[in-house]
Structure 1
Amino acid sequence: MKTQKVWFITGASRGFGLEITRAALAVGDQVVATVRSQPTQLAAVLDNHPDLYVVQMDVIQEDQVQAAVKQGIARFGRVDVLVNNAGYGIVTAIEEATDAEVRKQYDTNVFGLLNVTRAVLPYLRQQKSGRIINISSLFGYDAVPGWGLYGSTKFAVEGISKGLAIELAPLGIHVTVVAPGLFTTDFLSTESYAAGKTIINDYQATVGPMRSGADALHGNQPGDPKKFAQVIVQLANTDRPPLHLPVGKDAVAMYQNNAAKMAEDIEAWLTVATSTDHAHRIVA
């Protein structure tokens, strides 16, 4: 008999968050779904499901995060699966991005993730069980012009997840960082990503196509978000989940290509890279 799980999912109003919420409810689990605004709207979209509890919360506001987690625990008694999904992208050359734009990107994608993780972990530690699933990106494996700043936040998520996994494994808590490729969510709609306000003409050849091409790609991505949500449900119910998981043929290819390029660089410079130890000293 399946044990009912309690999920805590951020960024649940649309995209992956909405589909993961639907999938978790469909298998009989309970879900605390967080949104930045209009919680009643999400509840209505999901037919006011009795196992759904929608909480208004902005991941960058730590007091709101702490309150939302406490409300979820009060409603369902525990949390078994945390899905850190909230985030957005920005298209800009790295030099073009202002300090405010960079901080806003990191506040949501990195520091917001840490806010939620810190709020949930005391309960998972007390239970000596639980799953943390962090949503990264194929851009967390390699750089793409115009998406380098966004990708850097996902590189951070990859590293944070790896550190968490090592620290939490003895406590019975599993961590998986999932890097989706391009899926037909609204991530590439103008409502879900920002464009840098500064434009430097020298970057037109590299970043320019990304500024004009993102909208054109929207709706034509290869991945099915409903199938992605099923992968997340499967991860939550796997005894030995992976630490890193690219999802989508494009994400797998991005990982493989980056790994091959890194291996090639290291091999080409191996003699230099291994030449820096102190010379052995002969003691008389």
Structure 2
Amino acid sequence: MKTQKTWFITGASRGFGLEITKAVLAAGDKVVATVRGKVAEFEAGFNGNPDLLVVTMDVTNEQQVSGAVSAAIAEFGRIDVLVNNAGYGLLAGVEEASNEEVRQNYEVNVFGTLNVIRAVLPSMRARRSGHIINISSVGGLGAYIGWGLYGSTKFAVEGITEALAMEVAPLGIQATVVAPGFFRTNFLDESSLFSSAQIIPDYAETVGVMRDFAAKVSYKQPGDPAKLAQAFITLANAKNPPVHLPLGNDTLDRFRSKTAAFEKDIENWYDVITGTDHDDVHAQAAVQA
């Protein structure tokens, strides 16, 4: 007989969060779904499912996060799987975005993720069990024009998760960072994507082209969100889940292209790269050889 897991999913009102919530409930597990508002409307979509608890929570509000985690444990006794999904995109050239626009993107995508991790981990540590799944992006594996600032928040999530996985492994806890490619959600519309207030004409042929492209491909992306949700079910049930899980052929192609270019740079600059150690280190290496 299957043991029910309890999932804690942030940003569950739309996009990936909603699809994962539906898939988890259909698989017979319990879900604590966090939304920023319209709780009754969200609950109505699930016909009073007793395995669903909906809580109001803004990931940037530590008090709300702590309260939501406490409510989850009070209702279901434990949190087995945390999915840090809440976040939004910022489309801007590096020079174009204001300090406030960048800081707010970090507040949600990075510091919000950390707020939830810190709130959930004590109960997981006490039980020596749990799985933290943080959602990154293809933009967290390789940069794109116009997405450098948003991508940098996801690069941060990649690094945080990689270190976290090593720190919590001896405690019986697992951590995975999932990097989706372009999936057919609302990510590229105004509900999830913000563009910088400032637009600099000199970037018309780079960032400007990307803005036009993003508008044209919205809801035409190759990835299927329902299939992504099923991948999360598989991931959460794996005995040995990976630390990194790219999802989508576009993500895989982008990462492989980046690593190939990186290897080429290493080949071309090998003597410079390897020639920066102290002379005594070179001498010691020669003796050992």
TM tier, shorter chain? over 0.9
Cα distance in 2 for residues equivalent to 1:184 and 1:257: 23
Q: What's the CA shift for 1:215?
A: 2.0
TM-score w.r.t. length of structure 2: 0.96
Give the structure 2 partner of residue 242 of structure 1.
Answer: 242
Where does 1:188-203 land on structure 2 (aligned, <5 Å)?
188-203=188-203
Q: How many aligned positions are there?
A: 282
Determine the structure 1 residue equivalent to 2:65.
65
Instruction: Provide the rounded CA distance (Å) in 2 between the counterparts of 1:16 and 1:32.
Output: 15
1:45 deviates by 1.3
Give 5+ residue unaligned stretches, structure 1. none
Separation of aligned partners in 1, 2:257 and 2:127: 40
Equivalent-residue separation in structure 2 for 1:149 and 1:278 (angstroms): 36
Match status 1:39 vs 2:39 = yes
* In structure 1, C-alpha distance between the alignment counterparts of 2:271 and 2:246, rounded to whole Å: 32
Question: Any idea what SS the aligned residue of 2:205 has?
Answer: coil
Note the 1:60-99 alignment, pairs <5 A: 60-99=60-99
- State which drifts further: 34-43 or 160-169: 34-43
- Counterpart CA distance in 2 for 1:18 and 1:238 is 22
Who is 1:219 aligned against?
219
CA distances 1:44-73 after superposition (whole Å, capped 9, x unpaired): 112221100000000001111011100111
Residue identity in the other structure for 1:276: T
Structure 1 residue 168 displacement after superposition: 0.4
Tell me the alpha carbon deviations over residues 101-154 of structure 1, each in whole angstroms, 9 at most, x when there is no partner: 010000000000000000000010001010011100001111111111010100
CA distance in 2, matches of 1:269, 1:41: 58
One-letter amino acid matched to 1:111 = F
Residue 180 of structure 2 corresponds to 180
Aligned to 1:163: 163
Q: Which residue identity is paired with 2:184?
A: T
**Other-structure match for 1:5:** 5
Contact 1:10–1:83 (8 Å) recurs in 2: yes
Q: Is the Cα–Cα contact under 8 Å of residues 190 and 215 in structure 1 kept in the other structure?
A: no
Q: CA deviation at 1:225?
A: 0.3
Shift of residue 227, structure 1, vs aligned partner: 0.4
1:229-249 Cα deviation digits (max 9, x unpaired):
000011000000011011000
Quick check: 1:114 aligned with 2:117? no
1:189: Cα distance to partner?
1.0
- For residue 131 of structure 2, what is the aligned residue in structure 1? 131
Counterpart of 1:145 in structure 2 is 145
For residues 94-105 of structure 1, the aligned pairs below 5 Å read 94-105=94-105
Residue 267 (structure 1) aligned with residue 271 (structure 2): no
Using the TM superposition, give the Cα deviation of residue 262 of structure 1 relative to its aligned residue in structure 2, in angstroms. Answer: 1.1
Tell me the equivalent position of 2:286: none
- Computed over aligned residues only, the root mean square deviation of the Cα atoms, in angstroms, reads 1.0
Letter in 2 for 1:114: L
Deviation at 1:255, TM superposition (A): 1.0
Aligned AA (1:35) = V
The more displaced of 204-213 and 51-60 is 204-213
Cα distance in 1, alignment partners of residues 69 and 280 from structure 2? 56
Match of residue 279 from structure 2: 279
Contact 1:94 1:149 in 2 (8 A): yes
1:138 partner amino acid: V
- Alignment correspondent of 1:205: 205
Deviates more, 1:187-196 or 1:209-218: 209-218
Structure-1 separation of matches of 2:209 and 2:47: 41
Residue 234 of structure 2 aligns to a residue whose secondary structure is helix
* AA matched with 1:243: V
Cα distance between partner residues in 1 of 2:13 and 2:85: 11
CA positional deviation for 1:280: 2.3
Q: CA deviation at 1:212?
A: 2.0
Amino acid at match of 1:187: F
TM-score (norm 1): 0.98
Where 2:227 maps in the other structure, the secondary structure is helix
In structure 2, the gaps of 5 or more residues are 284-289
